[in-house]
Structure 1
Amino acid sequence: MSSPPPPRKGFYRQEVTKTAWEVRELYRDLQPVGSGAYGAVCSAIDSRTGTKVAIKKLYRPFQSELFAKRAYRELRLLKHMRHENVIGLLDVFTPDDTLDDFTDFYLVMPFMGTDLGKLMKHEKLSDDRIQFLVYQILRGLKYIHAAGIVHRDLKPGNLAVNEDCELKILDFGLARQADSEMTGYVVTRWYRAPEVILNWMRYTQTVDIWSVGCIMAEMITGKILFKGSDHLDQLMEIMKVTGTPPPEFVQRLQSQDVSILGVAGGASQQSGPELVQWDSRGLGLMGEPTARWETGPCLTQAKNYMESLPELEKKDFASVLKNATPLGKEGPSSQSFLASVIFF
């Protein structure tokens, strides 16, 4: 078996978790961070600045038209994202010499440390942190939605969080323009809105708001809100909380699975005991799509809710999040600090 050709000038090759990575020499100390269905991520040190970055290698981005479209969408959107709650692109490169050899490319982004899913597995989130994280998600979504984009894959694993509790929305491989025809199975099942599960081909940005509601409930209770074993079971889990959708909703769907909506005919809108205090805050994120909040009104509601809270006891920010950067002796109260990040 012949050996692979030597790396292109200015690049070096390293094996990471049994996969060959070929990256620019200025990115040193590759360390595996995680992997998914479409790619893997390593951390590295940018030798020019000494800062840690995240490098994403897409798996076989050109093996099919579907993979190529996903790779193109992610690259195109990342290139234009400029918001503190949305991940941006620092660099993009290929180790291939010519267009004929072009099979791989790498995306370089800021390194965030962890994601919301991992964070929730390791600790119970306090109310003030939940508020701060949810508002950052909404701020990032407002920016994305204002550009006419539906993310379509919001989940805890796609929300990066650093040690200062700063959050950025990740992974735009499934994002689409809101006016284009959609496909049904795009969001991780537990965070899908009913119209996505049922192949409603013209759904809107409100599917992202549904995902935020699911994520918010999970942060508060420590449990996945709708944990269906397949897409039909997922609908049943949803209806146990929201009740059977009204006939108008059913009439607008385009799926052979619509009949299942009659199975839970006696279901009423109810919540588990952990969500009693959450209902008034969070159920506006759920419900029938035309009645579901959009990010603008949602942020207004969120801000009004924050302002109605009693003053929170002042805390050392390092005690809220371990290894966090303190706000200083004269820093703002937790409530006013959280309120200060909501501005438009």
Structure 2
Amino acid sequence: MSLRTSSGFYRQDINRTVWDVPTRYGDLIQIGTGAYGTVCYLVMPFMGTDLGKLMKMERLSEDRVQFLVYQILRGLKYIHSAGIIHRDLKPGNLAVNQDCELKILDFGLARQTDSEMTGYVVTRWYRAPEVILNWMHYSQTVDIWSVGCIMAEMLLGRPLFKGNDHLDQLREIMKITGTPAPDFIMKLQSQDAKNYLRGLLKVPKKDLNTICCKASSEAVSALERMLVLDPEKRVSAAEALELPQFTEFREPEEETEALPYDHSMDNTELLLEQWKRHTFTEILTFQPPITEIKDSKETSL
């Protein structure tokens, strides 16, 4: 049952929750519930698919790979400048529309451990080795490793590192990166990790040209800069954007940076009404880029 309230709004009771919504969003239906609320309408730019589904449907040309990876790196430059690390980049977290425009999804989910992602082992294939084995305090370059894995998969048509468990994943990685050098092993915080790596048979680094034999030299060079075992030697998002691989699509004026993210409210204890007011104020003051307003199409589910 719904009831018209103030001009342009109506009220509807769903699952013992009262909703006051604009009349343009009619016939609300509950989509799902969680620990902190219920979702009944969800409005966002329509993307159509994600990169994982797209790769299953077709083999991507190198031009499209360049454009998609360029957009990922541009997004990462922005969030990294704000001090935010995604931590769980994978094809399913990258939405793509029919114009090959890409958006990064699911921020925050990456904080979960593998034990909290029961049955979702595929996420490990794109994770940096230092995250998989908790080797050290990690930085923004964990996301760059994931980009390298995703880019390689787009070029090859299959995942690059397809481990069955943590150690198998590491073995698959070192078949290509080679076993780590002593200076890297010294940086590790875990003595067990140091002992394990020192006990491994030495494996030389593999030339990625032999694996991505159909890719251009520029594409392979970009992968070589991303898929580096030592996170301190991996290219940053801003540095990666400067690589020759992305010259064709670059729009330097669009490669923006953000102000550092303000964490001060994260652990604040406020009354529910105060949180509602903060959220509402944030929505009212949000100013999307002009291009977004002009080009995006809304869809409701």
Alignment TM-score, normalising by the size of structure 1: 0.59
Which residue of the partner structure matches residue 62 of structure 2?
127
Following the alignment from structure 1 to structure 2, what is the Cα–Cα distance between the partners of residues 227 and 108?
Answer: 35
Q: Deviations over 1:180-204 (max 9, x none)?
A: xx97889920011111012135200
Q: Tell me the CA shift for residue 159 of structure 1.
A: 0.5
Q: 1:118 to 1:22 in 2, by over 3 A?
A: farther
Residues 222 and 240 in structure 2, CA contact (< 8 A), matched pair in contact too: no
Q: Deviations over 1:71-120 (max 9, x none)?
A: xxxxxxxxxxxxxxxxxxxxxxxxxxxxxxxx435664322110000000
Which residue of the partner structure matches residue 227 of structure 1?
162
Q: Tell me the CA shift for residue 7 of structure 1.
A: 8.2
Residues 244 and 268 in structure 1, CA contact (< 8 A), matched pair in contact too: yes
Q: 1:29 to 1:267 in 2, by over 3 A?
A: farther
1:211 paired with 2:146, answer yes
Q: Tell me the CA shift for residue 247 of structure 1.
A: 2.1
Corresponding residue to 1:300 among 242, 257, 282: 242
Following the alignment from structure 2 to structure 1, what is the Cα–Cα distance between the partners of residues 26 and 47?
Answer: 17
Q: 1:267 to 1:165 in 2, by over 3 A?
A: same
> Which has the larger strand fraction?
1
Q: 1:22 to 1:173 in 2, by over 3 A?
A: farther
Question: Number of matched residues?
Answer: 234
Following the alignment from structure 1 to structure 2, what is the Cα–Cα distance between the partners of residues 197 and 295?
Answer: 21
Worse-matched range after superposition: 144-153 or 196-205: 196-205
> Which has the larger helix fraction?
2
Q: Secondary structure in 1 aligned to 2:99?
A: coil
Following the alignment from structure 1 to structure 2, what is the Cα–Cα distance between the partners of residues 113 and 123?
Answer: 15
Residues 86 and 143 in structure 2, CA contact (< 8 A), matched pair in contact too: yes
Q: List 4+ stretches of structure 1 deviating above 6 A.
A: 6-9, 182-187
Larger RCO (CA within 8 A; separation ≥ 6): 2
Q: 1:26 to 1:142 in 2, by over 3 A?
A: same
Residues 198 and 258 in structure 1, CA contact (< 8 A), matched pair in contact too: no
What letter is aligned with 2:203?
A
Which residue of the partner structure matches residue 284 of structure 1?
225
1:269 paired with 2:210, answer no
Q: Tell me the CA shift for residue 249 of structure 1.
A: 2.2
What letter is aligned with 1:300?
E
Q: 1:10 to 1:296 in 2, by over 3 A?
A: same
Q: Map of 1:1-344 to 2, 5 A cutoff?
A: 10-11=11-12, 26-27=24-25, 57=32, 60-62=34-36, 103-105=37-39, 108-174=43-109, 188-255=123-190, 256-262=192-198, 264-270=200-206, 271=208, 273-276=210-213, 277=215, 278-287=219-228, 288-301=230-243, 304-307=244-247, 335=248, 338-340=249-251, 343-344=254-255
Residues 114 and 161 in structure 1, CA contact (< 8 A), matched pair in contact too: yes
Residues 116 and 157 in structure 1, CA contact (< 8 A), matched pair in contact too: yes
Following the alignment from structure 1 to structure 2, what is the Cα–Cα distance between the partners of residues 108 and 260?
Answer: 49
Q: Tell me the CA shift for residue 219 of structure 1.
A: 0.4
Q: Tell me the CA shift for residue 250 of structure 1.
A: 2.2
What letter is aligned with 2:173?
I
What letter is aligned with 2:237?
T
Following the alignment from structure 1 to structure 2, what is the Cα–Cα distance between the partners of residues 200 and 60?
Answer: 33
Residues 198 and 253 in structure 1, CA contact (< 8 A), matched pair in contact too: no
Q: 1:209 to 1:306 in 2, by over 3 A?
A: closer
Q: 1:293 to 1:7 in 2, by over 3 A?
A: farther
Q: 1:126 to 1:258 in 2, by over 3 A?
A: same
